[in-house]
Each structure stands twice: as C-alpha cells, then as structure tokens.
Structure 1
Amino acid sequence: MALESPTLLVIGQKGQLGFELMRALQPLGQVVGVDRSTCDLADAAAVDNLVATLRPDVIVNAAAYTAVDKAESDQDKAYLVNANAVKALAQSAAKVGALLVHYSTDYVFDGSKASAYTEDDATSPVNVYGASKLAGEQAIAAELREHLIFRTTWVFGAHGGNFAKTMLKLAGARESLNVIADQHGVPTSAALIADVSAHIVAQYFAARNAGTASGTFPFGLYNLTAKGETTWHAYASKVIAEGIAAGLELKAAPERVHPIPTSDYPTPAKRPHNSRLSCDKLESTFGIRLPDWTVHVESTVKLLAELKQ
C-alpha cells in the first residue's frame, strides 16, 4: 500500500546539516523538525514519547555532540549524546517501524591507511569523539535492521559554524594565516549530504510502496563525501581565493596562507592524518554521482558574499 503522506522527523533541525535536511526533505512528505529546546536527544524518554506520538515513517538524526576537543575532558556527555541516546533512538524507531537515518564520521578511523577508507576497513578511533560516534553506529546496527548510517567528513555550509566560515572571518582580520597541511580529507557540504539523503530516502519510499523495502532495500553503512581530496591548508587557500573573487574584503591573500605540520598546532584531541573515504559503494548502490568538493565550496562562498552585501 502506497504511503500517501509520509512523515519525516528531523532531530537537530537548527544545526548546519539539520537546516539543509529541512529543505531537502520537503518534497517527500510532512517534515517535522525538532531541536534541543523542543526535544533534547539526550532525553531518551522525551524522544521516545515524541516518536510514539508522531509515528514517523523516517527519523533523520542530525543531532550530535561535535565538540571534538572538549570531548576529551567531557567523555560522559559525548557518549551520552553520540552513543546512549542514539541507541535509545534506534529502539524508539524499531517500536514504530521507522527507518533511521544517522550521520557518522571519518574519525572512527586512525588515519594510518595510505588510501581512502572503505566501509569494510577496521575502525580504530584516536579520540573520544570518534569512539563515541563509533559506539553510536554499533548501537544502531544492533538495535535496528532498517537503518542508514552515512559517514562523512569536513562538513561545511552557509548555515552554522564551520571551517570555511572561520577562515573567511580570520582572513578578514589578519594579513596571514597558518593552516595545517599534513591532514588529508574531503570538504563536504551540508547541502550535498542533505540532497543525497533525500534522494536515497525517496528510493526507500519507492521500494516501500512497491512492497519490497523490507526484503531487498540496501540498508546499512555508507560513506558519503564529495569527490576529490585536499588538505586543510589547500582548502583554506581555496576558500579565501573564492572569497576575494566574490568581492569580500579580505586582508589575507591565498599566498599568505602558510602551511604548517600538525605538530605545530597541538590540540587536546588527536586527529587522523588521512580522513579520505571511498564512496564507491554509495554511488554504485544508489546510482548517485557525487561532485568534486570544489563545486560546493565555490557556491557556498559566493552565497556568503551575497549575504554580506
């Protein structure tokens, strides 16, 4: 029987990813968004009550504890939100038969691999944040068969705080910047993640309407990033170059962005040197063609410049 008007619940609607999900999911049905003020993910009873009352067809969890460095000294809170609360959410989804879409991170790996990580590579997080996100992944897999977990990297967007916006702010105040050049990854826009998520949820609805979702739909874990690769240094240089081209008044030109090693910028949490993820499984399974990381960096910086005018 076809779903006439499916309901999609977005948890964390005000974050940079939640903001884009609220946009991208609109064509698929009734989208209900909640944030910490209306339903805190860490309050398992409140979440369970919301899910039981709303009975959504899909739950999209864009909420997480993302303070990577703070997590080193706030381990209990990181695990509460990223693991315990996620387990409870999966249990709530199971009670109402909802698909759970969840987002994870490259930080589940230690970064020692020479090439891009696949979904089958062994995990080995090097910080509390990564360990807590891995625990959340494992909890979902144990509690709920009908789930989609998307691992992504270096998320940015026009809404919310992120590296790209920080670089533009710093370049507007300083004549030169020092940026790490020995960590490799892929800047991935929140808009791309949201659009791909919506595309795959639409495929799920089609399979469900055809009566085949429970038997043949490819639930599970997938990497989801833009194409290509870069370093934080090259990423910052690209952002600043695009900012200047878009008319932003910046003091630091790309050639004044100096590369430094990770050892010159110590942080409480260790970061993996290789954060590259292979998305071959996602592209082949769902028929998706992912764009190069520069595409959304260019459009996002242009948008930020327009918003300043």
Structure 2
Amino acid sequence: MRASPAIPAAALKLSVAPMMDWTDTHCRVFHRLLAPNARLYSEMVHANAVIHGDRDRLLAMDSCEHPVALQLGGSEPALLAQAARIGVAHGFDEINLNCGCPSDRVQAGRFGACLMREPGLVAESVAAMVGAVDAPVTVKCRLGVDDDHDWRRFLAFIDTVADAGCRSFVIHARNAWLKGLSPKENREVPPLRYDWAYRLKQERPELQVVVNGGIADHDEALAHVSQVDGAMLGRAAYHDPYLLHRLDATLFGTPLRTRGELLRALRPHVDAQLARGVALKHIARHLLGLFHGQPGGRAFRQVLSEGAHKPGADWQLLDAALAVTGEARRIAA
C-alpha cells in the first residue's frame, strides 16, 4: 500500500484548526502574518462542492498562506480522490479528511464524525486520495462517538486508516455525540482526554500525532508539544489571535511584534482586497480579538464591529480602531 508523504516535523508543532465560517482566506492571511511557521487549514469543503461548485470562492487562497491544507468532507472514495486532485492543483499543500464534525447535516451526508464507525470506508477513501495526489493526506478525528470509550476500538480505527497510507492524524481529544448535543456543545461538553493522544504517540511512534481540543493557553500548548508532534489551536487562535503569535515566537524564535505592528502589516492585503471590491467587513471580522484582554480591547472591537459593514469602509477605520487601544496611548505618551 502506498504511504502518504510525511509532513516536516517543524510544520506540525503549531497549527490552526479548520473552522466552518471562520478560517477563510482572509483569516488565514492574518494568521500567517501572526504565525509565519504555523500550519493553516481551510474550512471544511465537501468533495462534491469542490468538483461542481464555485472553486474560485471555495478554494480561494493567497500565496502567502503556505503551508495550508484543504479539509475535505465526504465518504465516496472516487469523489474524494477527484476533489483532492483539484485541491492540490489549486496549490494546497495537504489534503485532510474530516472524521470529526458531529452536525446533523454532516451526519445526514454520511461524513464527519459518523465515519469513525466505518473505519474500512475511511481507509478506502484515504487510499484513493493517497493514490491520486503526491501531497500528504491526513485525517482529523475524534476519540470515538457517543458513549464509546473503548481504547482498542479507537486504536483499531487509527491502525486501519494508517494501513491505507495515512501517516498524520489530528486528534480532537474528546468523543463526538451524534445525538443530543449541538456542534457547539460537542466542542465543550464531552470531556477532554489528551492522554489518549499521548498514548497513541507512545504506542505508534511512527505516526505523526497532533492534539486538538480546548487548548487555550500558551503553556498548555507547549506542554502538548512536549508529548506529541504538535498542538492545534481552534477557537483560541480566533478569539485571542495574539496567542498564536506568542506561540510562534516561543516555538520558532519569531521576533515578537506588537499588536499594532501586526495590524499595520496587514494593510497591503486589506488595500488589495478593497481594490478588488471585497467589503472590509469580510476582513475586519477576523481582527476583532487582536486586543483581547488589553486596555482598549473592547473599544477596538466596537469600532470595527460598528463601522466595517458601512459602505466605503476602508483602512481609515482600522487606524481609528487602533487609536482607541492602550497601545496607541502608550505610543502617544
């Protein structure tokens, strides 16, 4: 069985999770600015949408984003292979299969977390994608579904998929409840069990294991990196994006920049997008948490929230938002 290429070890240490309605190209450009060494992921896109949909929109990517992965949803091996080929042709550096999303819509389509009950189908899908592309093919999964807490079943799932050629797994270290919990609750209610991800790395050292789920603290992320190949941040990277910058600095020696410096460095992207007719609101929504927990952070967010949707909103609004922060007042003093 052909094996998928390994991802360079350094590229696994820090990553940002694929998040529906959040990790679009504007978000990823911002995150790349914050974390030059992090691995970034697209929102999940169904294989059928990649094949038949508006690729310019669904697969939009700026050249600065690399390395960036395309996360696919689906359960038909031939369609997933076709979508993987399209994704790689569009420049994505990795193809990731979603085996963790618990939403009702996803379940109805027979993909996402419910695939953990069909390891043979996941293996067939992975093998088809590995055979179709030269880029790494990876899997993001949960520990199990509903009240299944059987380590041997989880390990059998991993082994079956690994035998199909997958070498890299992102483990969202909690179960997915397919009935009774909303997707939001599924990110918060089932208990986290990071020890399963650690144990997987210990028992299968040849596999690349990245842990995901509930990581919201700088030191916590570093602790995970000491146990497995990497830590993947989700909501924390979005709500407190400067955390991502601090982690990149710690893990890779990236020079620490102020929040204001980082915001100003985004101006070429903002100006270019505005010139293309993109409304500022589509970019500004990803910036709201930049001053999270800082003096003036709430005012910064308020200026952007109230002004970005207005016709003609441009870089001046971002300057105005920066001006109300404590950082701007320190510079003025």
TM-score (norm 1): 0.37
TM-score (norm 2): 0.35
